[in-house]
């Protein structure tokens, strides 16, 4: 331990020679702000935070860490819900927020080249002048960064049709954990050799830091039509999703919220969801106007036949925005119902959604813990919000046990423990439940080969052995 | 054949290369000390729930079998998998990392692979990804194996995402003044609100735009494309039905490139312009797919491949030789990097697949 401290001090002294003092944070007050990400139940105060401004600085800091054996964690806006950017004890945080320039938008090639600290929504904002946008839309998109999106393969509400972050990243420049720089992929939709870009995306910081990200841009859909259908039961809303899928339509999004989530969203964002509904289903179609119009007529007829108590198409952009505001504010809105909550991110095969929700309801009753459900019904990605009061002794532990049972349920049904939030520290114990010991050992071997010293975001995704 | 038999075959040899139906024979040319492991008997669709938009099949399963099954349920692999009718297997398609013209709209093979089981260099069967369309758990091995060419491990089983059939299609063929004019028009077409499934460009200067969707809306889409092309197209044909199917079948099966060396070159519009300028002075037969994100080059057998190699190098491009008698598997610049080297060492430490 003493040696670690000596090495750390040497590393910090060297970094201080290369990075201006005002960007090397070491005061307890400053460090405290970085001790947690959006998974606030976990806290670790780092030794220092280095606010880098260039690729060159990232490389130098990482090399210095490598030379002195100091662990580091890259951080953007700290919106990880799995503790992905939780600092490591005795380590430093490399803050990338100031590397927030969009280096280039090439409308002809339909790509944007971004530094890692660029805010997700800023890419679409900058691309709008060219009629283009960046498709992945995690709920945190007004604040989360593209670097974090890459590290955790972020999703969003439109994954059914558009896929996740990895489907939109064409190339990366990465600083490997020893400071070596590698270029992966490029600006083409196609590639030669193993898809290393795809392999880096979602590696949760264990392979190093992406310092330049090439994303593909899509033309903004000419027409977006959204409908809100209300149901008297969650099961009925789930059945409606099955009907939409069977019809051959390919919606851009299909989202369901249950009564508790509706209540919370209504109180926080006033989206005007039908009062007293047990579930609302949001379905969105997008594309060329003529095609979307015809598809939307089919969709409305189908929903009209699905036992909905009301089917309300958004009349205009303002109404559409309101519907989405309610949905996207659901997580934070639940904060009004309960002092604390855990957001889960499990995935089940879509056809098992109804069964999964019924079991979650039983678990909720058995534990006597309220669970609000908001989920991406189109791709089976559940987001149970488990409400608890952290001031009550043992409440967090009970909530975590319930969360764990939900993850076990997802695994049992042939799904995944995480659809879009990543494993981070939160689901460390559950990844080995999903994969065999051989699978886990190869993941560890890959990590060890890329980062033999184990300095890049240690303790995330792969539990220490 | 079973997955365990595949693993045993890998363990039995110091140097191995898994092969399917060898529809891309240049990818399987190796020295005689390498054991070729046939995966064509490792077949079968393991799981298919149409309502899930996913299926799982063993690596040697033919694409044609997959497509027929999906079609019976109104579903498709939208990226137009190549060499389907020639007998290509699912594993070979993923390993070769090949996507057809349809990749323009919804993405390529990399965007549809969600799960994998493969045999690593130690002969163990490893699982990566999963069977659900959305999954962020663990390292993304399914993507890593796209383009791995059998040189990283032996793919045993794959899970892919599928989409509903997009509806009837129509193809607009715009005959442009010359290739330069066509390449100048391409980016504008690529940003239109008219959503094309495919945007291909073939010499002398034909832009092929495929649209699919609601029957009632197709005519409007065609009119809008016509309007967007304005006076730039010399003539414009609209093709439907069997004739239209044949256009894309030829593209997918590469019947236009027989008796030539066939090379895939990932590119960008800017580089494609440079490439086309050089290739126009040769006897190379070209096809640019996905709005010039991929150049397919058919190089005459009697032409020196070194010329093509230097053309690609000059344009800072890499190419993969798929068919034809050429000792070099890669042409142009070498995209190898340190990250890839480290990953390879972990998965195949003894270089069993490094052939």
Spatial distance between the Cα atoms of B235 and B201, rounded to a whole number of angstroms? 15
The pLDDT of residue A267 is 87
Segment B104-146, tens digit of pLDDT: 999 999 999 999 999 999 999 999 999 999 999 999 999 999 9
Environment class of residue A396 by beta-carbon count within 10 Å: exposed (0-12), middle (13-18) or buried (19+)?
middle
Domain B254-332 listed as CATH 3.90.1520: no
pLDDT at B328: 87
Greatest Cα-to-Cα distance within chain B, rounded to the nearest angstrom: 64
Residues in chain B with CB shorter than 8 Å from the CB of A193 are 97, 147-149, 335-336, 340
Q: Do A420 and B266 touch (CB under 8 A)?
A: no
DSSP E strand stretches across A134-252: 169-175, 181-185, 209-216, 218-219, 223-231
**Domain annotation for chain A: domains and CATH numbers:** 2-95 (3.30.43.10), 102-219 (3.30.465.10), 223-327 (3.30.70.2190), 338-412 (3.30.70.2740)
Are the beta carbons of B156 and B4 closer than 8 angstroms? Answer: no
- The pLDDT, as a whole number, for residue A335 is 77
Residue with the two structure tokens 């050429």: B326
Q: Do B139 and A202 touch (CB under 8 A)?
A: yes
State the 10-residue block means of pLDDT for chain A, 465 residues long: 83 94 96 94 95 98 97 97 96 98 97 98 97 94 97 93 97 98 97 97 98 97 97 92 92 95 90 92 97 97 96 95 90 84 92 90 95 92 93 92 95 95 95 97 98 97 87
Query: Which pLDDT score is estimated for B188?
Result: 93
The answer for residues whose C-beta is within 8 angstroms of residue A425's C-beta and 6 or more apart is: A39, A42, A82, A83, A84, A86, A459, A460
Which CATH number is associated with domain B3-164?
3.30.465.10
Residue B327 has pLDDT above 90, yes or no: no
Buried b (16+ CB within 10 A) or exposed e, A288-300: bbbbbbbbbeebb
φ, ψ at B233 (rounded to 5°): -85, 135
- The yes-or-no verdict on residue B340 having pLDDT over 60 is yes
Instruction: Tell me if residue A286 falls in helix, strand or coil.
Output: strand
Confidence of residue B341 (pLDDT cuts 50, 70, 90): very high
Q: Which residues of A touch B136 (CB under 8 A)?
A: 152-153, 155, 164, 202, 345, 416, 418-423
Cβ of A195 and B192 within 8 Å? Answer: no
**Model confidence at B71: pLDDT above 80:** yes
CB A357 within 8 A of CB A345: no
Note the pTM of the prediction, 2 decimals: 0.97
Q: For position A200, what pLDDT does the model report?
A: 98
pLDDT digit string, tens, across residues B253-309: 999 999 999 999 999 999 999 999 999 999 999 999 999 999 999 999 999 999 999
Q: Which two tokens stand for residue B237?
A: 């044909």
Beta strands A381-388 and A371-376, pairing class = antiparallel
CA-nearest of A162, A380, A136, A355 to A256 is A380
- Look at the block and give the residue holding tokens 């972020």: A154
Query: Is the ipTM of this structure higher than 0.95?
Result: yes
Architecture of domain B169-252: 2-Layer Sandwich (3.30)
Residue with tokens 């990482």: A62
B342 touches chain A (CB under 8 A): yes
Q: Which neighbouring-strand residues pair with A282?
A: A228, A255
Mean of per-residue pLDDT scores for chain B = 96
How many beta-carbon pairs below 8 A join chains A and B?
Answer: 264
Instruction: For residue range B259-271, list pLDDT tens digits in order.
Output: 999 999 999 999 9
Tokens of A315: 């009349």
Which pLDDT score, from 0 to 100, does residue A2 have?
63
Angstroms from B335 CA to nearest CA on chain A: 8
Q: Is B164 on the interface with A (CB under 8 A)?
A: yes
- Split at pLDDT 50, 70, 90, the class of B231 is confident
Which pLDDT score is estimated for B55? 98
């Amino acid at each position: 331990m003493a040696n670690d401290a000596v090495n750390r001090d040497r590393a910090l002294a060297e970094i201080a020679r290369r990075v201006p003092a005002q960007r090397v944070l070491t005061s307890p007050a400053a460090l405290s702000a970085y001790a947690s990400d959006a998974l606030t139940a976990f806290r670790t105060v780092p030794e220092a935070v280095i606010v880098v401004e260039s690729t060159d600085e990232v490389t130098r800091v990482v090399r210095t860490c490598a030379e002195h054996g100091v662990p580091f964690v890259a951080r953007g806006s700290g919106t990880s819900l799995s503790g992905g950017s939780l600092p490591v004890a005795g380590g430093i945080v490399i803050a990338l927020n100031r590397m927030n320039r969009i280096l280039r938008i090439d409308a002809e090639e339909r790509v944007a080249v971004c530094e890692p600290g660029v805010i997700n929504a800023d890419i679409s904002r900058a691309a709008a002048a060219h009629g283009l946008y960046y498709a992945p839309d995690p709920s945190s998109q007004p604040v989360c960064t593209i670097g974090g999106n890459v590290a955790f393969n972020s999703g969003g509400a439109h994954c059914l049709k558009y896929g996740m972050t990895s489907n939109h990243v064409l190339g990366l420049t990465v600083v490997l954990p020893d400071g070596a720089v590698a270029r992966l992929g490029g600006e083409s939709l196609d590639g030669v050799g193993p898809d290393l870009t795809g392999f880096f995306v979602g590696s949760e910081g264990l392979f190093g830091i992406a310092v330049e990200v090439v994303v593909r841009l899509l033309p903004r859909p000419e027409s977006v039509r959204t409908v809100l259908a209300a149901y008297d039961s969650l099961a009925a809303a789930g059945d409606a999703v099955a009907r939409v899928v069977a019809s051959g339509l390919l919606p851009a999004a299909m989202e369901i919220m249950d009564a508790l989530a509706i209540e919370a969203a209504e109180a926080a964002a006033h989206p005007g969801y039908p009062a007293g509904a047990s579930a609302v289903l949001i379905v969105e179609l997008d594309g060329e106007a003529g095609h979307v119009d015809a598809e939307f007529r089919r969709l409305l007829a189908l929903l009209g036949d699905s036992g909905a108590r009301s089917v309300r198409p958004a009349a205009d952009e303002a109404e559409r925005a309101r519907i989405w505001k309610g949905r996207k504010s659901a997580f934070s809105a639940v904060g009004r119902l309960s002092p604390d909550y855990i957001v889960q991110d499990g995935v089940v095969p879509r056809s098992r959604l109804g069964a999964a929700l019924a079991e979650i309801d039983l678990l909720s009753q058995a534990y006597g813990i309220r669970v609000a459900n908001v989920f991406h019904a189109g791709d089976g990605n559940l987001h149970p919000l488990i409400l608890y009061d952290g001031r009550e002794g043992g409440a967090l532990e009970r909530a975590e046990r319930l969360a764990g049972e939900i993850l076990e349920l997802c695994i049992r049904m042939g799904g995944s423990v995480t659809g879009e939030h990543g494993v981070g520290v939160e689901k460390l114990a559950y990844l080995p439940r999903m994969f065999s010991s051989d699978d886990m050992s190869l993941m560890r071997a890959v990590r060890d080969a890329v980062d033999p010293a184990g300095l890049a975001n240690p303790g995330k995704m792969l539990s220490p052995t | 054949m079973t997955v365990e038999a595949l693993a045993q075959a890998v363990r039995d040899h110091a140097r191995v290369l898994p092969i399917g139906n060898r529809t891309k024979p240049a990818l399987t040319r190796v020295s005689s000390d390498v054991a070729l492991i046939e995966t064509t008997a490792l077949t079968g669709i393991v799981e298919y729930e149409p309502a899930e938009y996913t299926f799982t099949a063993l690596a040697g399963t033919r694409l044609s079998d997959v497509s027929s099954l999906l079609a019976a349920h109104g579903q498709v692999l939208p990226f137009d998998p190549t060499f389907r009718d020639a007998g290509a297997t699912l594993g070979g398609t993923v390993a070769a990392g090949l996507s057809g013209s349809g990749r323009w709209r919804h993405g390529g093979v990399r965007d549809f692979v969600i799960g994998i089981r493969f045999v690593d260099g130690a002969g163990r069967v490893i699982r990566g990804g999963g069977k659900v369309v959305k999954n962020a758990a663990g390292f993304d091995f399914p993507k890593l194996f796209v383009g791995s060419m059998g040189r990283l491990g032996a793919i045993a089983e794959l899970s892919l995402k599928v989409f509903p059939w997009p509806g009837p299609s129509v193809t607009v063929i715009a005959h442009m003044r010359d290739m330069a004019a066509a390449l100048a028009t391409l980016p504008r077409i690529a940003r239109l609100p008219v959503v094309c499934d495919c945007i291909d460009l073939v010499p002398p200067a034909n832009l092929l735009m495929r649209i699919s969707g609601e029957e009632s809306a197709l005519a409007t889409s065609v009119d809008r494309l016509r309007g967007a092309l304005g006076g730039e197209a010399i003539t414009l044909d609209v093709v439907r039905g069997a004739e239209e199917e044949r256009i894309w079948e030829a593209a997918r099966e590469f019947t236009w490139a027989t008796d030539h060396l066939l090379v895939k070159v990932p590119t960008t519009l800017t580089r494609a312009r440079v490439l086309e300028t050089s290739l126009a002075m040769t006897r190379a037969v070209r096809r640019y797919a996905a709005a010039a994100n991929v150049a397919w080059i058919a190089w005459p057998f009697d032409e020196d491949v070194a010329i093509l190699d230097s053309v690609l190098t000059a344009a800072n491009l890499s190419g993969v030789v798929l068919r034809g008698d050429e000792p070099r598997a890669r042409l142009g610049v070498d995209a190898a990097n340190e990250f890839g080297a480290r990953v390879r060492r972990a998965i195949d430490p003894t270089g069993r697949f490094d052939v």
